[in-house]
Amino acid sequence: MKKIFNIISLCILLCSGVYASENPPPKLFGITLFENMDKNTILSGGDQAVFYDYDQLGEQALTNFAWVEIESEWFKMIKNKNFFKYAVYVKESNEVNDKSLETLGEEINHVAIEGVEAFSKKTFSENDKNIKAVGSCVNFRDNLLELFKAKHDLDTSDFLQSYYIGENKDFLSLVNYNFDYKNQKFSLSLLFKEKLSFNFTCKYFYDEQKNLSSKLWVYLATDDLKKEIFENLNYKITDSNTDKMIKSMTILKGF
Protein backbone atom coordinates (compact mmCIF):
# COMPACT_ATOMS: atom_id res chain seq x y z
CA MET A 1 0.00 0.00 0.00
CA LYS A 2 2.83 2.35 0.91
CA LYS A 3 4.55 1.56 -2.40
CA ILE A 4 1.38 2.42 -4.36
CA PHE A 5 1.11 5.70 -2.44
CA ASN A 6 4.75 6.48 -3.26
CA ILE A 7 4.18 5.81 -6.96
CA ILE A 8 1.13 8.10 -7.00
CA SER A 9 3.05 10.80 -5.13
CA LEU A 10 5.97 10.55 -7.54
CA CYS A 11 3.64 10.83 -10.54
CA ILE A 12 2.02 13.94 -9.09
CA LEU A 13 5.41 15.56 -8.62
CA LEU A 14 6.69 14.56 -12.04
CA CYS A 15 3.59 15.15 -14.13
CA SER A 16 2.65 18.56 -12.79
CA GLY A 17 5.03 21.45 -13.38
CA VAL A 18 5.36 24.45 -11.10
CA TYR A 19 3.81 27.26 -13.10
CA ALA A 20 5.14 30.76 -12.74
CA SER A 21 3.06 33.82 -13.48
CA GLU A 22 4.20 33.90 -17.11
CA ASN A 23 1.64 34.62 -19.74
CA PRO A 24 0.68 32.69 -21.80
CA PRO A 25 0.86 29.26 -20.14
CA PRO A 26 2.60 26.44 -22.06
CA LYS A 27 -0.66 25.05 -23.37
CA LEU A 28 -2.28 24.72 -26.81
CA PHE A 29 -5.68 23.19 -27.60
CA GLY A 30 -5.95 22.27 -23.90
CA ILE A 31 -2.74 20.19 -24.02
CA THR A 32 0.02 21.21 -21.61
CA LEU A 33 3.69 20.70 -22.41
CA PHE A 34 5.86 18.46 -20.21
CA GLU A 35 2.92 16.42 -18.93
CA ASN A 36 3.05 12.65 -19.22
CA MET A 37 1.22 11.57 -22.38
CA ASP A 38 -0.79 9.02 -20.38
CA LYS A 39 -2.34 11.83 -18.36
CA ASN A 40 -4.15 13.01 -21.53
CA THR A 41 -5.22 9.64 -22.89
CA ILE A 42 -8.69 8.16 -22.49
CA LEU A 43 -9.63 4.51 -23.02
CA SER A 44 -13.13 3.26 -23.83
CA GLY A 45 -15.36 3.62 -20.80
CA GLY A 46 -13.49 6.70 -19.63
CA ASP A 47 -10.62 4.83 -18.01
CA GLN A 48 -7.18 6.40 -18.12
CA ALA A 49 -4.67 4.64 -20.35
CA VAL A 50 -1.77 2.57 -19.15
CA PHE A 51 1.74 3.92 -19.52
CA TYR A 52 2.96 4.41 -23.07
CA ASP A 53 6.02 2.61 -24.30
CA TYR A 54 7.99 5.21 -26.24
CA ASP A 55 9.48 2.59 -28.56
CA GLN A 56 5.98 1.57 -29.68
CA LEU A 57 4.87 5.05 -30.71
CA GLY A 58 4.19 5.60 -34.39
CA GLU A 59 6.16 8.21 -36.30
CA GLN A 60 9.79 8.47 -35.23
CA ALA A 61 11.25 10.36 -38.19
CA LEU A 62 12.91 12.81 -35.82
CA THR A 63 16.04 11.85 -33.91
CA ASN A 64 14.99 12.73 -30.38
CA PHE A 65 11.20 12.96 -30.60
CA ALA A 66 8.24 10.87 -31.73
CA TRP A 67 5.17 12.29 -33.47
CA VAL A 68 1.65 11.06 -32.70
CA GLU A 69 -1.53 12.21 -34.45
CA ILE A 70 -4.35 12.56 -31.91
CA GLU A 71 -8.15 12.62 -31.88
CA SER A 72 -10.49 14.01 -29.24
CA GLU A 73 -12.21 10.61 -28.98
CA TRP A 74 -9.19 9.21 -27.13
CA PHE A 75 -7.11 12.24 -26.17
CA LYS A 76 -8.04 14.99 -23.71
CA MET A 77 -7.95 18.18 -25.77
CA ILE A 78 -10.00 21.17 -26.92
CA LYS A 79 -11.02 21.01 -30.57
CA ASN A 80 -11.21 24.18 -32.65
CA LYS A 81 -13.52 24.02 -35.67
CA ASN A 82 -10.97 25.94 -37.75
CA PHE A 83 -8.24 23.31 -37.35
CA PHE A 84 -7.56 19.63 -37.96
CA LYS A 85 -4.63 17.17 -38.05
CA TYR A 86 -3.84 17.66 -34.38
CA ALA A 87 -0.63 16.02 -33.21
CA VAL A 88 1.73 15.92 -30.26
CA TYR A 89 5.49 15.50 -30.23
CA VAL A 90 6.77 13.44 -27.34
CA LYS A 91 10.08 12.55 -25.77
CA GLU A 92 11.09 9.76 -23.45
CA SER A 93 12.20 11.21 -20.14
CA ASN A 94 15.09 8.96 -19.17
CA GLU A 95 15.94 11.12 -16.16
CA VAL A 96 12.44 10.74 -14.72
CA ASN A 97 12.37 7.01 -15.46
CA ASP A 98 15.80 6.51 -13.87
CA LYS A 99 14.70 8.44 -10.78
CA SER A 100 11.61 6.28 -10.48
CA LEU A 101 13.74 3.16 -10.81
CA GLU A 102 16.16 4.45 -8.18
CA THR A 103 13.48 5.59 -5.72
CA LEU A 104 10.74 2.99 -6.17
CA GLY A 105 12.45 0.13 -7.93
CA GLU A 106 10.05 0.56 -10.89
CA GLU A 107 10.26 2.46 -14.15
CA ILE A 108 7.14 4.47 -14.94
CA ASN A 109 7.85 4.99 -18.69
CA HIS A 110 7.44 8.74 -18.49
CA VAL A 111 6.74 9.99 -22.04
CA ALA A 112 6.59 13.78 -21.90
CA ILE A 113 4.75 16.04 -24.36
CA GLU A 114 7.21 18.49 -25.92
CA GLY A 115 5.07 20.02 -28.66
CA VAL A 116 1.50 20.42 -29.97
CA GLU A 117 0.46 21.28 -33.53
CA ALA A 118 -2.51 21.58 -35.88
CA PHE A 119 -3.27 22.83 -39.40
CA SER A 120 -6.07 25.01 -40.68
CA LYS A 121 -8.94 23.06 -42.20
CA LYS A 122 -9.13 25.66 -44.92
CA THR A 123 -6.67 25.74 -47.77
CA PHE A 124 -6.30 29.40 -48.68
CA SER A 125 -6.35 30.44 -52.34
CA GLU A 126 -3.75 33.18 -52.55
CA ASN A 127 -3.63 36.32 -54.67
CA ASP A 128 0.03 36.53 -55.70
CA LYS A 129 -0.36 40.27 -56.23
CA ASN A 130 -1.70 40.91 -52.72
CA ILE A 131 -0.58 38.38 -50.13
CA LYS A 132 -2.52 40.18 -47.38
CA ALA A 133 -5.84 40.20 -49.22
CA VAL A 134 -9.04 39.39 -47.35
CA GLY A 135 -9.39 35.62 -47.26
CA SER A 136 -5.64 35.00 -47.38
CA CYS A 137 -3.64 33.02 -44.86
CA VAL A 138 -1.91 36.18 -43.61
CA ASN A 139 -5.28 37.89 -43.16
CA PHE A 140 -6.62 34.93 -41.17
CA ARG A 141 -3.40 34.73 -39.15
CA ASP A 142 -3.39 38.45 -38.35
CA ASN A 143 -6.94 38.24 -37.01
CA LEU A 144 -6.02 35.20 -34.92
CA LEU A 145 -2.91 36.93 -33.58
CA GLU A 146 -4.86 39.99 -32.49
CA LEU A 147 -7.21 37.79 -30.47
CA PHE A 148 -4.27 35.80 -29.05
CA LYS A 149 -2.44 38.98 -27.99
CA ALA A 150 -5.55 40.43 -26.38
CA LYS A 151 -6.35 37.22 -24.49
CA HIS A 152 -2.87 36.97 -22.98
CA ASP A 153 -2.12 40.71 -22.79
CA LEU A 154 0.94 40.45 -25.05
CA ASP A 155 2.84 43.25 -26.75
CA THR A 156 3.07 43.25 -30.54
CA SER A 157 6.78 44.07 -30.33
CA ASP A 158 7.39 40.68 -28.68
CA PHE A 159 6.34 38.82 -31.83
CA LEU A 160 9.07 38.06 -34.37
CA GLN A 161 8.71 37.37 -38.08
CA SER A 162 10.95 35.16 -40.18
CA TYR A 163 10.89 33.33 -43.52
CA TYR A 164 12.01 29.85 -44.55
CA ILE A 165 12.34 28.08 -47.89
CA GLY A 166 12.11 24.34 -48.48
CA GLU A 167 13.75 21.96 -50.94
CA ASN A 168 10.68 22.01 -53.21
CA LYS A 169 10.62 25.82 -53.24
CA ASP A 170 7.63 25.90 -50.91
CA PHE A 171 8.15 28.47 -48.20
CA LEU A 172 7.02 29.55 -44.77
CA SER A 173 6.07 32.94 -43.39
CA LEU A 174 6.40 32.54 -39.65
CA VAL A 175 5.34 34.75 -36.74
CA ASN A 176 6.41 33.49 -33.36
CA TYR A 177 6.25 34.46 -29.71
CA ASN A 178 9.22 33.25 -27.64
CA PHE A 179 9.05 32.98 -23.88
CA ASP A 180 10.68 31.29 -20.91
CA TYR A 181 8.76 28.86 -18.76
CA LYS A 182 9.86 28.01 -15.23
CA ASN A 183 9.45 24.38 -14.32
CA GLN A 184 10.71 22.24 -11.46
CA LYS A 185 12.82 19.19 -12.14
CA PHE A 186 12.07 16.53 -9.57
CA SER A 187 15.62 15.26 -9.39
CA LEU A 188 17.16 18.67 -8.75
CA SER A 189 14.31 20.48 -6.99
CA LEU A 190 15.64 23.65 -8.61
CA LEU A 191 13.91 26.09 -10.92
CA PHE A 192 15.17 26.23 -14.46
CA LYS A 193 13.88 27.86 -17.61
CA GLU A 194 12.62 26.12 -20.73
CA LYS A 195 12.69 28.18 -23.93
CA LEU A 196 9.35 27.79 -25.71
CA SER A 197 7.57 29.42 -28.63
CA PHE A 198 4.09 29.77 -30.05
CA ASN A 199 4.35 29.70 -33.85
CA PHE A 200 1.84 30.89 -36.42
CA THR A 201 3.07 29.85 -39.86
CA CYS A 202 1.61 30.37 -43.31
CA LYS A 203 2.90 27.53 -45.45
CA TYR A 204 2.81 28.40 -49.18
CA PHE A 205 2.85 25.95 -52.08
CA TYR A 206 1.46 25.46 -55.59
CA ASP A 207 -1.51 23.08 -55.75
CA GLU A 208 -2.14 20.50 -58.49
CA GLN A 209 -3.65 23.20 -60.72
CA LYS A 210 -0.51 25.32 -60.22
CA ASN A 211 -2.40 27.89 -58.17
CA LEU A 212 -0.66 29.51 -55.21
CA SER A 213 -2.22 28.11 -52.02
CA SER A 214 -1.44 28.00 -48.33
CA LYS A 215 -2.25 26.42 -44.98
CA LEU A 216 -1.91 27.91 -41.51
CA TRP A 217 0.27 25.74 -39.28
CA VAL A 218 0.13 26.55 -35.56
CA TYR A 219 2.28 24.90 -32.95
CA LEU A 220 3.75 25.26 -29.49
CA ALA A 221 7.19 23.72 -29.06
CA THR A 222 10.44 23.70 -27.15
CA ASP A 223 13.45 25.22 -28.91
CA ASP A 224 15.11 21.83 -29.34
CA LEU A 225 12.00 20.33 -30.92
CA LYS A 226 11.45 23.28 -33.26
CA LYS A 227 15.04 23.13 -34.47
CA GLU A 228 14.80 19.41 -35.14
CA ILE A 229 11.49 19.74 -37.03
CA PHE A 230 12.91 22.38 -39.35
CA GLU A 231 16.10 20.42 -39.93
CA ASN A 232 14.09 17.28 -40.69
CA LEU A 233 11.87 19.17 -43.17
CA ASN A 234 14.96 20.81 -44.72
CA TYR A 235 13.70 24.35 -44.25
CA LYS A 236 16.38 27.04 -44.35
CA ILE A 237 15.94 30.58 -43.13
CA THR A 238 16.02 33.23 -45.87
CA ASP A 239 16.29 37.02 -46.03
CA SER A 240 13.54 37.17 -48.65
CA ASN A 241 10.09 38.14 -47.41
CA THR A 242 6.80 36.68 -48.64
CA ASP A 243 6.33 39.17 -51.47
CA LYS A 244 9.85 38.55 -52.82
CA MET A 245 9.45 34.79 -52.60
CA ILE A 246 6.12 34.85 -54.44
CA LYS A 247 7.57 37.11 -57.14
CA SER A 248 10.47 34.71 -57.58
CA MET A 249 8.14 31.71 -57.78
CA THR A 250 5.88 33.48 -60.27
CA ILE A 251 8.77 34.36 -62.60
CA LEU A 252 9.91 30.73 -62.64
CA LYS A 253 6.40 29.31 -62.99
CA GLY A 254 6.36 26.77 -65.83
CA PHE A 255 10.16 26.37 -66.03
Residue 103 burial (CB count, 10 A): 13
Tens of pLDDT, residue by residue over 36-70, are: 887 888 765 555 555 566 666 655 668 889 888 99
Name the range with the highest mean pLDDT among 8-12, 23-27, 81-85.
81-85
Contact 43, 207 (CB under 8 A): no
174 vs 35: CA distance, rounded Å? 26
Q: Is 156 helix (H, G, I), strand (E, B) or coil?
A: helix
What does the pLDDT read at residue 132?
92
Cα separation, 193 vs 1, whole angstroms: 36
β-pairing, 159-165 vs 191-206, is unpaired
Residues 6+ apart with CB under 8 A from 32: 17, 25, 26, 113
* Residue 161 near residue 173 (C-beta atoms within 8 A): yes
In whole angstroms, what is the distance from residue 145 CA to residue 23 CA? Answer: 15
pTM of the model: 0.79
Task: Give the whole-angstrom CA distance, residue 152 versus residue 75.
Answer: 25
Instruction: Write the pLDDT tens digit of every residue in 186-211.
Output: 434 344 578 999 999 999 988 888 88
